A and B are shown apart, each in its own frame.
Chain A
């Protein structure tokens, strides 16, 4: 099958790949870029495990072909940590609030939550539950995830002192 050259940036680094047109962005990230943090849970766009940020918007990397990412800027879970290795407040909050168990849905959860807090930093629990409903977690029952996102939101908006353990 004929391969096509694509160029995009991943976590700030320029990547140039030759890919078959049918290759998904998820496979290109995982197998060609070695960024295996992006997980595949259903490969039909429902579970959200493969969520990455493409040009500022969350996208299902399983439903997007790599060629469609040509010229775009992609952020994956590997790009969340600071250059000094410090965890992003969302990552820290997921750890602190037990927002993960097996960790398989976590990268997609983090990327969806990142976009939520970018757009609605003061999201309340109901908003968080509604907005995060595109990402399925089978382990946690979502309680720790909602707690974590709520806490990270407070941290990012500078209201961390109001943090109370959620009921």
Chain B
């Protein structure tokens, strides 16, 4: 570890930094996890949605009479026409549009919900769907974001452009004029999706007498859901309870409030006392949950003869699908692409126009890595291409341009401030682990033989994590996502309950929060229980996105625990008549400085705090609890490098990964296993996107990859063993941590495309990389 930015009060002993047994695992490995789909309540009924079979069509009639006669409760678009989701942003060019709860005037993508049927079970609900007749008048569909639309998706945006912005720094024209080499490429990335193993799900229950709604929802953002559901239904926010129990993966897909969610809540209000359950199936999920990464980059980069990057001019079009998702808007991908395109490289002259374009496809939303798997691919392609043209080693050209620790804080041309700079260190470590020199020698040896050629690819990137209010996530939305709250209660038995605003979809936040609180107070990890995902319990948390929770929720837990520790010490000092400054807590016992034996247990102090007010010292109130917010104000950049060696079968075009290495700066790793698990999992998703996963629409807007037989998710047979390494530079926040959830997805596109360029001299312009596409390039 280095000494820059090391937090003063970071604990040096205890559970942090060790891979303690996860709190979640006992229930999850025994089949006793509790997901929304496992919620079972008296009088429960099941919901199925009727979805548009057209990519774009006017709805001219909905006839539910037959279904109603057969005893089904049916809701149609007209029932909820007074409610719409509207994602807001203060960005000047942004065109606000409404997303209906159930489509009623027209359907804008295939799979958009049009009606809902309620029945005793899901089988019957789907029977009921067959009795609902919808008349459609087909409209011309636009599927590709860089095609001229014949019929706009939204009348408010005749050209389908929902948002456009130009980033401008320095003078690109002067820089290009001075450049020795100008590289131009058109790069297209493939639409794919987060596709968590648990699809979306909700159970809504309206208590009419109390005027209260309870909504179990497999969401990453329960407080954001509560806030908007309350507003849309005209309910006091305190009367809406959102519960996210165990959630089976999210990856951004579940950080969105969907029309189906709102429909379920509105339907529940029409059916008081009857819990309504909707569990999405995979076909629905592929059709109607958010997609991502359908982008085109028109790139132009200028270099000096020495390989110095002089200018980048880019035009980025992101297909945002039929609607601007709540709350992130159509800006989420284009703005991220433009803001971070230059990545970890020094650049003064930058002009980049980004736009979000509506089409008749499923809405795009946040997906792990948001835009950067594509933008890193675009940027690294410039370096790979320039390195070949200038005759510079591809590693060396990156070294000549990368931001170094001496440049920190580095103001990027998009005005984001990079506080990391440890890219070269990550790269060195990654190349070491790869065995770079040996592989280069082997590559050379194979040249001119019949053996499959070897290629080495590299990607450097920065992950913008733990964003505070100064760099809040989201495109100038009506709220700032920089803070989270935490409540810590020490109970009368001395054990601790943490009620945190963080949410978990597999990241092990129960474990991490318990580690943080245990160490901050000085009690054993086993004595801390964590409750998350319930808006009636936790005061506030924005939820899981932007790799924010370790930094922000963790910071809140740490600070709150310290406040409780102070209370314990104050009370203990009174009870044992010692000076509070002489006390310390270790393993649940209070010690006085210089005394080898503990003087009183935390459990006894806690007992006095609640049950023996007769022993309370003067001026000390009963109880041992605290609630605190934390906002890091700025974000913490996490540096990363990925390198891989591949070999390619010239006959089939198939590539085989020989070795894959990732080195990241996660700051201080609170739970090394969880940190490595996040990195390995995100690399696997990145490899899936680079090689297998592709959501394909035909020209009429029909999804032709509607099952997992067509939409290929990588399995254990495709994903290689990976080598994961760390450089651990503590960030400037209470725990010294950097977010680690997304970085892994950023590298694979660039690494594999670069490796193919290195092996065969071919340029990969279109993703995904398939044996067929490589073979075609080779012909």
Q: Which residues of A contact B (CB under 8 A)?
A: 20, 22-23, 30-31, 34-44, 46-47, 49, 76-78, 80-81, 87, 91, 94-95, 98, 100-107, 110, 125, 128-130, 132-146, 166-167
B640-684 with Cβ < 8 A to chain A: 673-674, 676-677, 680-684
Point out the residue from B24, B674, B717 that lies within 8 Å of A103, measured CB to CB.
B24
CA distance A47 to B716 in the complex (A): 12
Chain A residue, CB-CB nearest to B32? A37
Point out the residue from B25, B31, B682, B721 that lies within 8 Å of A146, measured CB to CB.
B721
CA distance A91 to B137 in the complex (A): 54
Cβ contact within 8 Å between A102 and B709: no
Choose, from B83-91, B473-481, B503-511, B599-607, the stretch at the interface. Answer: B503-511
Contacts A104-B248, A125-B721; is A98 near B716 (CB within 8 Å)? no
B199 to chain A, nearest CB (A): 8
Contacts A41-B282, A43-B281, A106-B29; is A101 near B508 (CB within 8 Å)? yes
Cβ contact within 8 Å between A103 and B505: no
Chain B residue, CB-CB nearest to A23? B123
Q: Which residues of B contact A103 (CB under 8 A)?
A: 24-25, 27-29, 33, 246, 248, 506
B532-578 with Cβ < 8 A to chain A: none
Q: Which residues of B contact A134 (CB under 8 A)?
A: 715
Chain A residue, CB-CB nearest to B719? A142
Cβ contact within 8 Å between B25 and A138: no
Q: Which residues of B contact A101 (CB under 8 A)?
A: 249, 506-508, 677, 681
CA distance A49 to B38 in the complex (A): 15
CA distance A152 to B182 in the complex (A): 56
Chain B residue, CB-CB nearest to A148? B29
Contacts A44-B708, A103-B29; is A95 near B22 (CB within 8 Å)? yes
Q: Nearest 7 A-B pairs (CB), nearest first?
A: A37-B31, A104-B248, A102-B506, A103-B28, A101-B506, A141-B680, A141-B684
Cβ contact within 8 Å between B681 and A140: yes
Q: Which residues of B contact A104 (CB under 8 A)?
A: 33, 35, 196-198, 248-249
**B707 within 8 A of partner (CB):** yes
CA distance A106 to B248 in the complex (A): 10
Q: Which residues of B contact A91 (CB under 8 A)?
A: 29-30
Cβ contact within 8 Å between A41 and B31: no
- Interface of B: prevailing SS: loop
Q: Which residues of B contact A125 (CB under 8 A)?
A: 721
Chain B CB within 10 A, most for which of A38, A47, A98, A102: A102
Cβ contact within 8 Å between A77 and B22: no
Cβ contact within 8 Å between B197 and A138: yes
Q: A107-B31, A141-B719 are in contact. List 14 more A-B contacts (CB 8 A).
A: A22-B123, A23-B123, A39-B198, A40-B279, A44-B707, A47-B708, A77-B30, A95-B22, A102-B198, A103-B506, A132-B715, A138-B249, A138-B713, A142-B684
Cβ contact within 8 Å between B677 and A139: yes
21 contacts between A and B (CB under 8 A): A37-B30, A42-B708, A47-B713, A77-B29, A77-B31, A78-B31, A81-B30, A87-B26, A94-B25, A98-B677, A100-B25, A102-B505, A103-B24, A103-B25, A104-B35, A129-B716, A132-B717, A136-B713, A138-B713, A139-B506, A146-B716
Cβ contact within 8 Å between A43 and B282: yes
A46 to chain B, nearest CB (A): 4
**B19 within 8 A of partner (CB):** yes
Cβ contact within 8 Å between A138 and B196: yes
Point out the residue from B26, B279, B721 that lies within 8 Å of A166, measured CB to CB.
B721
Q: Which residues of A contact B199 (CB under 8 A)?
A: 41
A108 to chain B, nearest CB (A): 9
Q: Which residues of B contact A44 (CB under 8 A)?
A: 282-283, 707-709
Point out the residue from B19, B198, B682, B744 that lies within 8 Å of A98, measured CB to CB.
B19
**B215 within 8 A of partner (CB):** no
CA distance A100 to B504 in the complex (A): 13
Chain B CB within 10 A, most for which of A98, A104, A129, A136: A104
Chain B residue, CB-CB nearest to A94? B29
Cβ contact within 8 Å between B722 and A143: yes
Q: Which residues of A contact B21 (CB under 8 A)?
A: 95
**B99 within 8 A of partner (CB):** no
Point out the residue from B38, B197, B683 that lies within 8 Å of A47, measured CB to CB.
B197
Q: Which residues of A contact B684 (CB under 8 A)?
A: 140-142
Chain A residue, CB-CB nearest to B671? A98
Chain B CB within 10 A, most for which of A38, A80, A110, A129: A129
Cβ contact within 8 Å between B22 and A46: no
Chain B residue, CB-CB nearest to A92? B29
Contacts A47-B282, A103-B33, A104-B198; is A136 near B715 (CB within 8 Å)? yes
Cβ contact within 8 Å between A139 and B723: no
Q: Which residues of B contact A128 (CB under 8 A)?
A: 716
Q: Which residues of B contact A20 (CB under 8 A)?
A: 123
B748 to chain A, nearest CB (A): 11
Q: Which residues of A contact B26 (CB under 8 A)?
A: 87, 95
B691 to chain A, nearest CB (A): 14
CA distance A41 to B280 in the complex (A): 10
